[in-house]
A and B are shown apart, each in its own frame.
Chain A
Amino acid sequence: MGRFLGERGLPFSSLGGRMFYRILNKSIRVLTILCLSVLTILVPIEVFLRYLFGKSLYITEEFTRYLMVWVVFLASSLAIREDSHISIGIFVNRFRGRTRSWINLLAQILLVTFLIFLIIEGVIALSFQMDQIIPSLGLPIFWFYLAIPVGSFLMILNLLPKIWETLKVISGKKRFEDARSSKPREEGGLL
């Protein structure tokens, strides 16, 4: 295992790797914030228009619903990065060090397997979606189903550095750290 990791070519801790992830996650953040902002602006406008003038932006309901799918799948990959997804640690917290890392590795591999499955099935599902036009928008639903494979892919991307860390602990290159206690909080990291 040690030789496999090698001294050279640490793709996730090298400068290029870090840059890649910094840019990637910043773009995801900007996109998420944009989508959610559009949602948050549209719905109150719709409410005011309806009650004050009896008019309705007929796209609001469908558009916001589908946009939320994008918000969820984009932000979900940020949640992976920050370890904010709800998990139950009561059993795994009993273990420390290398044993814990093996468990973590297994969990991460299972997660990646499921995400790969989601990408594959998501792409298959996409092929049926091009002809389904959302009436109020005139857009095929394809553009919103796309969130599933894209989001899953981004989740895998954000999982890779975590798997890398786990491998480093297993191979003895790094001391074990509890992910929960060193959880990165990047409030307002955009600005």
Chain B
Amino acid sequence: MIYLFIAFFLTILLGVPVAFCLGIGALAFLVITGRESLLIIPTLMFSGIDSFPLMAIPFFIMAGDLAERSGILPNLVQLAKSLVGHWRAGLAHVSIVTEMFLSGVTGTAVGDAAAIGSIFIPSMIREGYDRKFAAVLTASASVMGPLIPPSVGMLIYSFVQGGTVSVAALFLAGVVPGVMVGLGLMILSHVLAQRRNYPKSQERFRIMNVVRTLKGALMGLTAMLIILGGILSGVFTPTEAGAAAVAYVLIVGTIFTRKLNFSSIVSSILNTAITSSVIFILMATAKVCAWLLTSAQIPQKCGNVLMSVSASPIFFITLVILFLVFLGFFIEAIAIMIMFVPVLAPMAGSYGIEAHHFGLVFVMAVQIALITPPVALGLFVTTKLAGIGIDDTWTEIGPFLLFLTVLTLLVAYWPGMSMWLPRLFGYVR
């Protein structure tokens, strides 16, 4: 098994794409030990892709991508503005609330960061906000994307973990922490805004405004309703909900808002194909490695070592969160999940941590990687929009990083806070 790790880490260091590092690692192991037929690599890769529940990933990516192109977003912005635009640093609050809405339609963070960032960062800079603040805030807000359902991150987790956790339960578990990320960021922006004297908008809160903008935002909100409501009521499986969301956004975008045309739909499909193929190839080779790891009982052995240090689940989950946040500085979220879920999830099981709760904490902890430079996909997008370098943000991320880490720890120590929702719907005991 040591050959697998050596080959894997060497190829990672050389900059080979992670998906192929996993494949090369497995190949090296099989060639050197000769334990199994080499045929298991293509066979397991095939079976790692060929799964109907997994098809939810391209559908949610496509629904999000089409939603951003279909002109639903400006209406959501108007609604958010009428709700919180009158506060100090109103623009910051509006961007957070808009992202909260958008998260209910999209399943990924980076797309959200690009969409929200391109709308709000230029106007924040115009109103005199710090560029660093604008970039870090929008990147942090995109953490909600994979927490508020639908969530590609949760889907990936459930498949890499081995498919024994319910995707619907994970989706539901993410709702409360997702909203808390939003609320926490609003408090944080408020504090920073007062200290730095960010501008206050002249607008007043009017209930009529809310009603009016709510009407405009109805189309976007219906997409949320289809996805979440469909899964909750058991009408849809996540895959079907994704497909229904795609169909809905296509109809709205072509008939009602008329923003979608043939060429934008085609480029959205191509985008979706490439993005999902990158994820699926990773899942395919990860399946091979996970199979080898399990058959060599590596997770159990690691678990036993750690158990001999301490049998406390609090100790284990704290260690895992800090480890994942640390890795997040250097590795991107999906790659961390693919590499560490197969080892850590069984260990969590032996510590007696409920599988869905651990999944939620894991997905949440790896999302922090969006804002931890030098490798931070969220910041990568938003700093570009703000016209600064990713290294300039070091001085600004402190409070945001601290907040997200503490919130993750809180979610980990207090399962009741997030898990009551899936329990209410009978997904988790």
Contact = CB atoms under 8 A, between A and B. Distances in A.
B43 interface: yes
A146 B263 CA distance: 30
A61 B281 contact: no
B273 interface: yes
A88 interface: yes
A88 B41 contact: no
Contacts of A47: 236, 240, 243-244
B331 A88 contact: yes
A188 B264 contact: yes
Given A39-B55, A85-B19, A75 B46 contact: no
A148 B270 contact: no
A47 B240 CA distance: 7
A55 interface: no
A87 B246 contact: no
Contacts of B17: 85-87, 111
Contacts of B331: 88, 90
Interface of B: 11-20, 23-24, 27, 38-39, 41-43, 45-46, 49-52, 54-55, 58-59, 62, 235-236, 239-240, 243-244, 246-247, 262-264, 266-267, 269-278, 280-282, 284, 330-332, 334-335, 374-375
Interface stretch (A1-9, A14-22, A120-128, A169-177): A120-128
A88 B18 contact: yes
A71 B275 CA distance: 11
Contact of A43 (B16, B55, B264): B55
Contact of A125 (B19, B42, B59): B42
Contacts of B235: 51
B59 A33 contact: no
A68 B280 contact: yes
Contacts of A164: none
A55 B240 CA distance: 15
B273 A43 contact: no
A32 interface: yes
